[in-house]
Amino acid sequence: MKKNKSTFKFIDLFAGIGGFHHALSELGGECVLACEMDKDCRKVYEATFGNKFPFIDNIRKLTRKIIDDESSLLSINHINKIIPDHDILCGGFPCQPFSKSGEQLGVKDKTRGTLFFDIVQIIEAKNPKYFFLENVRNLAGPRHLETWKTIIDTLRGLGYKVSTQPLIFSPHLLPPKLGGAPQVRDRVFILGVREDIENGEILNLASFNELLVGKKLWNPDKWRISDLLDSDDNIEKLEIFFVSKAESIYLEAWDYFVKNIEVENLPGFPMWAFAFQNIPEINEDMADWEVEFRKKNSIFYSDNKKFIDKWKKMKWGLDQITVSDFPFSRQKFEWQARKHHPTQLNRTLQDLVIQFRPSGIRVKPPSYLPALVAITQTSVVGPLLRKNATEYRKLTPVEAGRLQGIPDEVYKQPIVSTQAAYKQLGNAVNVGIIKRTAGILLGKYHIIEEAQLKLRLDA
């Protein structure tokens, strides 16, 4: 990876596999300290970036004399001495519930015992020019209003300009030329600028959204997942990547269904094979939403009774099972691919993205993927999306890494198990979003440049 000449220094807390590090290095930053507890993440991080800086396995080694003893907090002066000077502090911190106690001791005291409190201690000691924190979208949701207020008030109390309104963004809304990626991954970003820094006004969210320019310049339906996928000729025939025989049977049955049922537009509501009945099976204990779905399925069945009856009698796989023999969750099917297949013509599952969910099989257009999660729910891509492919398979770690902006070489040579790689990528930050947002924060991107870019982005 080519690096620019260092123009600023940063520390990388809760570093994971280095999403912040990749982004800030590309902007010209130099990492002077990193911190990550997970052993497998540390293996990947060190293999990627080397060991030219201190790498701590627990943030509380920087803030406490004894890790498990909250009464042994280090002094601000001590923390200042052991942590290198830096311009920007960054990290995707875990967010534990904050206590409502301690209000008489000040807002900061509400965060005691949480990992956010350790970040606060470091900011207070080192007083960096900027900080850049990342978390799940729910942190700024209606259920966490008090937590959000505590975070913002605490950071402002340290002498920083921080926006009251959360900055929430997803890489699939950012154009490819600006580092976007076809993954729906809403995250909340907390940005701070020290009060004496001139560009603090950039934290106005209207300006930030104009600079991010995702929604204004890019239609996410233009993404093509196939561009990120490798030919199956280059994929080891590992069982972990390809769907099981049972899953293949479920997909074969539902593929036959969508191909052959003479319906121009498939329903948007979940189709339940067990609810294809003349009279919906309803009892008084059912939730309103389930009653509604059963009624809709019953009407749909009545309109297509001849085909559905034939389909439900068909037998699949070596064991010759019917759809009624499928697990309950695999009798549920959600068609969310109308944009890609608006009519019956050439309708199939084989050029779509599939998710095996506890709530059923969900299929989507091959434009952008749901957020990466653990391997058990990793998205499955149809064979028509890849070269020389005949089977449905999951993304490989290299392909999943591309959704997070991680260079291919990080996972080409297996440093950790495939399961660990999926877990890491599911918890990682998206490099493109971090680079774009950090570049705005540091004053490296400007509104005028983006207005010009708007005119030529899709040229």
H or E stretch including 357? strand 353-357
CA within 13 Å, CB half, 141? 8
Q: Is the dihedral of CA 428, 432, 437, 439 positive or negative?
A: positive
Rounded CA-CA distance 43/36 in Å is 10
Assess contact for 316 and 236: CB atoms under 8 A: no
What is the rounded distance in angstroms from the CA atom of residue 48 to the CA atom of residue 208? 31
Provide the pairing of β-strand 29-35 with 55-56: parallel
Q: State the amino acid at position 186 in one-letter form.
A: D
Catalytic residue among 31, 41, 90, 95: 95
CA atoms of 347 and 271, how far apart (whole Å): 16
Residue type, 92: G
- Gap between the Cα atoms of 333 and 335, Å rounded: 7
What residues does 242 pair with on adjacent strands?
393
β-bridge pairing 55-56 and 380-381 = unpaired
Q: Do residues 400 and 229 make contact, with C-beta atoms less than 8 angstroms apart?
A: no
Is 95 tagged catalytic?
yes
DSSP characters over 25-45:
HHTTEEEEEEE---HHHHHHH
Q: Name residue 78's amino acid.
A: H
Helix (H) or strand (E) segment spanning residue 160: strand 160-162
287 in the Ramachandran plot: left (φ > 0), alpha (ψ -120 to 50) or beta?
beta
Best CA proximity match to 84, nearest among 140, 33, 12:
33
Could you identify the residue written with the tokens 């969900």?
362
Contact partners, residue 445, CB within 8 Å, separation at least 6: 211, 436, 439
Say how many residues make up the chain. 459
* Residues recognised as catalytic: 95
